[in-house]
Structure 1
Amino acid sequence: MYLPQQFNHPQHAATIMREHPFASLISTDDTGFPFVAHLPLKLQEEGGQAICLLGHCARGNPLPSYLVQRPQALACFLGPQAYMSPKVYADQQRVPTWSYLAVQARVEARLLEGEEAKDALLKQLIADHEPAYANQWRSLPEDYTHKMLDAIQAFELRIVTLQCAVKLNQHRPEAHAAMHAAYAQGGEQEQALAGWMKKLGLV
């Protein structure tokens, strides 16, 4: 990731991964070409530090075999993002740009075998995204849940390194007030960026 120092905010990586768990997990296929899987990943932390990511995919997906052969992969998370107009500057000699939050995690993969490990992972995802569904999952017929668990492959991705970009025009303080006002009046993505500007103390 190209990461100028003014946009380097590793302290916010865990927040972005929790709030935007749908990631792109990049491995390589048997020819060496990048293979991208789009899937939700569950962040696990220890002592306030991001330790690993948990995920699963369909058993028919070639991803698990690639991870076995080449365990190193890249997990990418994209937070809110939006266009930024040069209208926010008083000086007309400016150009448009794009604001965004992104995290890249270099990971080491390990497959998780057995129904117990898969069931534990699914319960964590249910707790994050639809806690009320937990009772329904537990009440399903055992032969059905066995079939569903057998149809997926779970894995653990140990985080080796993290990069976190929070690109909100930090180096142009003269435009922060106008930029925040423009984003605050926009759609969901823009409003989220306005909130992050406040979080970073830019306005």
Structure 2
Amino acid sequence: MTFPTGAPGDLADLIRSHPLAWLVTSGAEGFDASALPLVAETGPDGEVSALIGHCARTNPQVAALRQEPRAWALFMGAQGYVSPGHVSRAHWVPTWNYAVAVLTLEVELREEGTEEAVRQLVDEAEADRPVPWRMEDAGSRAPQMLSRIIGFRAAITDRDLRFKLGQDEDLPTLREILTGLEGTRLAAAMQRANAGRLGTDPQGSPRW
């Protein structure tokens, strides 16, 4: 089955809105996974080229990545059940809409990049706060904290993006579903994905 892959910049927005991803590795002990917040590194065209993150040095995945640097990052954005109760068409069947991404990575552990990796995450997470917290606010605790973690940069070598958000529905049905899901994150994502047909500004729509 072929899924819509979204417009340029959609992956970056998905990661900004839902930065907590599963980092999946495979080593001598088998598969392992950690839930880690990640930051998207983008090029001039807005495409995501790499992910920046950090994890505890005691995480078994650190040793696994030293042996085999390939990994997956799994992101899940807006998602939810769409009931036939939202649609007036006879015999319309239920479905599940979602925005997800599976990114294949080449991970480089970066001792010297640990502090910068943390700064990037903090700056991203604090960007909307009236008085953003900064690393300097940690005072003498910062060096101790940084000694327990290690930063990494993960270059994206392949991607599987699936933005199944009502693009295959006819316009009357899409509008009925949006009315039924009004106020939800899924509705906002569907509005953005179908902005051209709905005559709305995709940049003005809420994030995924």
Q: Same-fold call, TM > 0.5? A: yes
Counting only pairs closer than 5 Å after superposition, residues 18-97 of structure 1 correspond to structure 2 as 18-32=16-30, 34-48=31-45, 49-97=47-95
Q: Is the 8 A contact 1:80 1:190 kept in 2?
A: yes
* Rounded Cα–Cα distance in structure 1 between residues aligned with 2:90 and 2:27: 47
CA gap of 1:76–1:197, structure 2 versus 1, over 3 A, is same
Higher percent of residues as helix? 1
Structure 2 spans left out of the alignment, 5+ residues: 200-208
Which one of 180, 183, 197 corresponds to residue 181 of structure 2? Answer: 183
Distance 1:82 1:200, change over 3 A: farther
2: CA distance, partners of 1:73 / 1:8? 21
1:145 paired to 2:164? no
Corresponding residue to 2:110 among 87, 109, 112? 112
Deviation per CA, 1:3-46: give whole Å up to 9, x if none.
Answer: 514x23252222212221111111124233x2111010011111
Give the CA deviation at 1:192: 2.9
Q: TM-score, normalised by structure 1?
A: 0.84
Structure 1 unmatched ranges of 5 or more: none
Matches of 1:200 and 1:103, distance apart in 2: 22
- Describe the SS at the equivalent of 1:171: coil
Is the 1:10–1:162 Cα contact (8 Å) retained in structure 2?
no
Contact 1:170–1:202 (CA under 8 A) maintained in structure 2: no
* Percent identical: 27
Q: Which amino acid aligns with 2:95?
A: T
The 1:193/1:73 distance shift into structure 2, 3 A limit, reads same
**Is 1:168 aligned with 2:192?**
no
Structure 2 residue corresponding to 1:124, chosen from 110, 114, 120: 120
In structure 2, distance between residues paired with 1:161 and 1:199? 27
Superposed structure 1 runs of 4+ greater than 6 Å apart: none
Deviation of 1:157 after TM superposition, in Å, equals 0.4
RMSD: 2.1
Separation of aligned partners in 1, 2:122 and 2:115? 10
The verdict on how the C-alpha distance between 1:178 and 1:199 changes in structure 2, with shifts beyond 3 A counting, is same
The total of aligned residue pairs comes to: 192
Q: Which residue does 2:202 correspond to in 1? A: none
Deviates more, 1:34-43 or 1:192-201: 192-201
Partner of 1:193: 189
- Deviation of 1:202 after TM superposition, in Å, equals 4.7
Could you tell me how far 1:103 is from its partner in structure 2? 1.2
TM-score, length basis structure 2: 0.83
For 1:39 and 1:67, the matched residues in 2 are separated by 15
1:82 alignment partner, SS class: strand
